[in-house]
Structure 1
Amino acid sequence: MITKSIRALLTVGLMAMLSLASPLALAAEFPTKPLRLLIPFAPGGAVTFLAEQIMKEMEAQLGQPIVRDYRGGAGGTIAMELAAAAPNDGYTLFLLSTSQAISAGVYETLKVNVARDFAPVSLLAFTPYVLVINPDSVPVQNVQQLAVWAKANPGKLFLGTSGAGNSDAIVGAEFARTLGIQITQVPYRGAGPAIPDLLSGRVNISFFSPLPTKQHVESGKLRMLGVTTKDRSPAMPNIATIAEQGLPGFDFPGWYGIAVPSGTPPAVIATLQRATAAALERQSVKGFLLTNGLSAGGGPSAEFGSFLVSEITRWSRLAKSMGIKPE
């Protein structure tokens, strides 16, 4: 006869086995329902184009749809807090960017710690920021001419940004500081809402990814003056770097990646990482990235994690040194 004590031990042991097995079972079946990608910007910016291309291929790999959920505002912290609070089962993805690495240095009361509250999945892509102007409002052809014009017309440069404290805002502030010119920043809830005002002349300068501005540059409504990376973009070889136009060392690449809430089972993360890697290998994605001046990310999740920590350190230090304030 099984004594009560033995029965109790067996019960505890069975419960322990089930608790260990359930994450494995979850990983083996994952995914069995649609996923959600929380995007910390309004639609219409670079992330819209990038997410559509890569998520479409990831859906094919995972066999489930991925709902794009745009939650712009507050430097991306609204979406970030929602994502961090989501169940850690792999069904909620978060699109990280350079701007989230900055948040630690800008939002002193931020409830979420990016390095602590998220598990990295994969780096998606690197992008230069491009210095774009409205040529009807600012009639210049290069950075040197812009500096001369700005000094002759103080108070007339208005920089449209994807949000106060975001990466493009910091790049713009550093650009103004280095050139010794005055630029008034006008924050939006992403690049998408800023583009119409850039076209109309309400704002007349920006530092966005090439993606949301490319068609308007090609039509002549906007003009590219330079890229923020140390090397010229293979997709735009005729566009000089800002560094070679009199600002040596001016090197500010941006990036995008995917993360999930901390505590997500490693096997689930591995499934998502494999799907991302496969998507980045698709010719449609490779062609899209190359055509639009981006370069593919990829690599192991742990590698992205190390990169993320280094980026948080770099950008938050820069934000603090410049006194960047959140919106």
Structure 2
Amino acid sequence: MPDSVGELGEFGVIDAVTARLPQGPDVLLGPGDDAAVVAAPGGRVVVTTDLLVENRHFRRDWSEPVDIGHKAAAQNLSDVEAMGARPTSLVVGLGLPADLPASWAVSLADGLGAEAALVGASVVGGDVVRSPLVVVSVTALGTLSGAEPVTRAGARAGDVVAVCGRLGWAEAGYQVLSRGFRTPRAVVEAHRRPQVPYGAGAEAAGLGATAMCDVSDGLLGDLGHVAAASGVSIDIDPALVEVAGPLREVASALGADPLTWVLTGGDDNALVATFPAGVELPERWTVIGSVAAGSGVTVAGEEYDAPAGHDHFAG
């Protein structure tokens, strides 16, 4: 194999990447034609897309290409999960510098394929262009299998708010990396590669979730979308929110408040949902708050006086 993607060429890159991406049973026609064909068992397709830009969403000196592939896939697969759907396939657009090592692009593809395989999904196609920075654009498709989607707009007064997955870990890792450190490894790895609670979306839908959202930009910020779409108020009880030991240790070393990371940190791709009061939730779902009439999101009944999450245009 040539050393760089420039030497390999556009179609050589495509061939090298797609050769490492096996196709699952939902794929009727995979890479190699003008478009792929994917089965839609329920007659409807859930679609979402996300864009990762080098030095904005990842750094090559912080993360290995396989980690970036995992992260790019996970962010989109999580959004499909948040609708109560099952992911079936991904389409990937890559912008790559000509001098980027060809092995880097192949390793990225390995990460994309491995993350998709965790839910039985496949990378079915995409495009490659020359770019001054690495850009990864992923579109994910999913099926509802005949069920109704769980949107952000169904929360009702009297519901409880519950979360599934880790919160604050990726932000702790970012804070460590941004100060030039590479340990503790647990939080650094959380920043590099999220641990999505796969299957929790369909599980929540089956339990009667009234609204659901992927937590990618911060718990309070993303719950703000749910509150606005549903026309309700949401209050988080900080006493019910887990602050894991590794977060406390890192925060103590850095002179920071770990609860802030849990409430506002992004990139963990947990799921947060609202459920009718009295629903018995599985152990991996933790009740952290409640829904009432009104508007906005509060913490212990008070307005949160700091940024509630990540805004791509905030600086």
Q: Same fold (TM over 0.5)?
A: no
TM (norm. structure 2) is 0.25
Greater fraction strand: 2
TM (norm. structure 1) is 0.24
Bigger Rg, structure 1 or 2: 1
User: Which one has more relative contact order, counting CA pairs under 8 Å at least 6 apart?
Assistant: 1
Greater fraction helix: 1
